[in-house]
Amino acid sequence: MRPRVHRYGRFMIARRTVLAAGAGLTLGACGTASRADRDSLLAASATSTTTVDALAADTTSQEPIVIALTLHRLLDDGELGTMRTSGELDDIGQRINEIWAQANIVFEPLLVRDLVVPTAVLAPIVSNGNIDPLIDAFRSSIEISDPGVFNGFFLSSAFGVNGFAPSGVRAFFVVDEPTVHDERVTSHEIGHLLGLHHNADDPERLMFSGTNGTTLDSVEQVVARYIAQGVLDGQR
């Protein structure tokens, strides 16, 4: 699977290098090993009332696909946690839904929760995107409040990128001061979770790297709905 880390600027570190530090399960998106990890980390908490035939190109005329999304403020007792307020994340959530309305995908319920973790758990994410300690913490000691089907985690910074979506988990990470709009980087990372890859041709597109573009073309809308439906149906 192609790397899904989203990077900007001159720190062109290969994704394999970034996540090589003991992050095997985050790399094995297509393997069975990562499936169990992902499911235990982020168990689906919503069911779908939509049908698979809601996948035609004219997505806005189809039934909305509704997915539970929880945005977590990652907090620690140091300075690696987010400085964002709950109100700011609520606001980002509203604007995410405006962008994803193009595909008639609705993130609901859209919850904002605090998640306090040890600094030692955040440090590897900040330095190189290694989420293994966070996953271990979820397994052993930290209970995640009201997880959504998808989960966004906000933290101070992450190895020079605006955000990233590790392979194999239904989770993405967004930093406090991205170089693009907050709702844009968040929606872009969700796009990765919904199977979309980068577009290199049009800066107006959501999946172009490093711009404030928000457009989804018809193919992207269909793919995102297909993936979303598969997730909700437990087929993915």
Interface with Zn ion includes 84 (CB under 5 A)? Answer: no
Size of the site for Zn ion (CB under 5 A): 1
Query: Which C-beta is closer to Zn ion: that of 6 or that of 38?
Result: 6
Using CB positions, name the residue nearest to Zn ion: 6
Q: Which range in 2-10, 69-77, 98-106, 114-122 contacts Zn ion by CB under 5 A?
A: 2-10
Q: How far is the CB of 150 from Zn ion (least distance, A)?
A: 15
Asked if residue 84 lies in contact with residue 176, where contact means CB atoms within 8 angstroms, the answer is yes
Asked if residue 220 lies in contact with residue 99, where contact means CB atoms within 8 angstroms, the answer is no
Q: How far is the CB of 187 from Zn ion (least distance, A)?
A: 11
Query: Which C-beta is closer to Zn ion: that of 6 or that of 170?
Result: 6
Interface with Zn ion includes 6 (CB under 5 A)? Answer: yes
Question: What are the residues whose beta carbons fall under 8 Å from the beta carbon of 190, sequence distance 6 or more?
Answer: 69, 96, 100, 107, 150, 152, 165, 172
Burial class of 165 by CB neighbour count within 10 A (0 to 12, 13 to 18, 19+) = buried
Task: Return phi, psi of residue 77, to 5°.
Answer: -95, 10
Write each residue from 94 to 133 as x if it is in contact with Zn ion (CB under 5 A), else as -, in one continuous string: ----------------------------------------
Query: Which C-beta is closer to Zn ion: that of 6 or that of 184?
Result: 6
Asked if residue 108 lies in contact with residue 71, where contact means CB atoms within 8 angstroms, the answer is no
3-state DSSP assignment of residue 150: strand
Q: Which amino acid is at 30?
A: C
Query: Which C-beta is closer to Zn ion: that of 6 or that of 72?
Result: 6
Query: Which C-beta is closer to Zn ion: that of 81 or that of 166?
Result: 166
Contact positions vs Zn ion (CB under 5 A): 6
